[in-house]
Homo-oligomer: A and B are copies of this chain.
Amino acid sequence: MQTISREDYLKAILKIEEEAGSVSNQALVEKLNTRPASVTNMLHTLAAAGWVEHEAYKGVCLTDSGKDIALSTLRKHRLWEVFLVDKLNFSWDEVHQWAEDLEHVGDEELTNRLDAFLGHPAFDPHGDPIPTAQGQWSDGRNLIPASKTVEGDRIQLKGVVDSGESYLKHLDGLKIELGLILVVSKSLDFDESKILIWPDGSEASLSKQTLQNMLVEKLSRKGKE
C-alpha cells in the first residue's frame, strides 16, 4: 500500500536513476536527508511490495510498477507546482515545499482534471518536464548549462539544474527568470565567469557556479524573436 514516505522514496529513486544511472543507499540518504538504516529498512518494504529490486550491498532499481508510482507522483508534484505559480501567484522558489505534500493527494482522475485546468502544461515552474498521464516524460529539448556558452551567444533560460530555494532566490535577485533571453557579452577565462546582457540593455557578471546551474537553449544570434 502506498504511503507518503514510500512515494517519496520511489520518486527519489527515479530521480537518482535518471541523473546517476545507479542508485546507492548513500544517494538516498542524501536526497531524503535521512539515515542509512532508515534507507535499508524502507528498501526492504519497497522490495516486499514489488516496487524495487534490491540485493543486499548491491543497490536498488525500480520495477515497472514502482516506476509507475514514481512517475505519477512526480507528475502530481509538478502539476501542483504549476498551479501554485500560475494560479496562486507564488514564486518558483516557494512552491516546492507545498508540492511535496500535495503530490500525495488525489487520484489519477483528480490529477488529470488538474492537468486540464492548467492547460496541459509540458514543464513545471523550474523548467522540468511533466510526465504525461501515460508516464511519458522524454524531454525532447537539448539544453546546455550556460557555462558552456561563448561570447556572442543569444541564450534563453529554460531550466535549472539545482532547484533548491537558495539558488532560485539568487536568480531572483539577479532578475533572472525562466524564459529570459540573455546575450553573452564576455567570457572571462580566469574564473570562468561571464558578463551577460539583459533585454533592457543592462549587464551583469555571473559566476561559474551560477552559470553551471542555468540550463539554456541557444537561439539564433541575431533574430528579433
**Which residues on B sit within 8 Å (CB–CB) of A104?**
101
Stretch at the interface among A86-94, A122-130, A217-225: A86-94
The one of B87, B90, B102, B114 in contact with A105, judged by C-beta atoms closer than 8 angstroms, is B102
Work out how many copies of this chain go into the complex: 2
Q: Kindly identify, within residues 68 to 123 of chain A, every residue whose CB is under 8 Å from any CB belonging to chain B.
A: 84, 87-90, 98, 101-102, 104-106, 110, 113-114, 117
- Across the two chains, which residue of chain B brings its CB closest to A114? B88
**Which residues on B sit within 8 Å (CB–CB) of A113?**
88-90
What distance in Å separates the Cβ of A118 from its nearest Cβ neighbour in chain B? 10
Residue from A101, A105, A106 having most chain B Cβ neighbours under 10 A: A105
What distance in Å separates the Cβ of A79 from its nearest Cβ neighbour in chain B? 12
**Which residues on B sit within 8 Å (CB–CB) of A102?**
102, 105
The one of B84, B90, B110 in contact with A88, judged by C-beta atoms closer than 8 angstroms, is B110
**Which residues on B sit within 8 Å (CB–CB) of A105?**
98, 101-102, 105
What distance in Å separates the Cβ of A217 from its nearest Cβ neighbour in chain B? 31
Q: Kindly identify, within residues 145 to 189 of chain A, every residue whose CB is under 8 Å from any CB belonging to chain B.
A: none
**Which residues on B sit within 8 Å (CB–CB) of A101?**
104-106
What distance in Å separates the Cβ of A104 from its nearest Cβ neighbour in chain B? 8
**Which residues on B sit within 8 Å (CB–CB) of A90?**
110, 113
**Which residues on B sit within 8 Å (CB–CB) of A106?**
98, 101
What distance in Å separates the Cβ of A80 from its nearest Cβ neighbour in chain B? 9
18 A-B pairs whose Cβ atoms sit less than 8 Å apart in the complex: A84-B110, A87-B117, A88-B110, A88-B113, A88-B114, A88-B117, A89-B113, A90-B110, A90-B113, A98-B105, A98-B106, A98-B110, A101-B104, A101-B105, A101-B106, A102-B102, A102-B105, A105-B105
By a beta-carbon cutoff of 8 Å, the part of chain A in contact with chain B is 84, 87-90, 98, 101-102, 104-106, 110, 113-114, 117
5 more CB-based (< 8 A) A-B contacts, given A88-B117, A98-B105, A102-B105: A90-B110, A98-B106, A101-B104, A102-B102, A105-B105
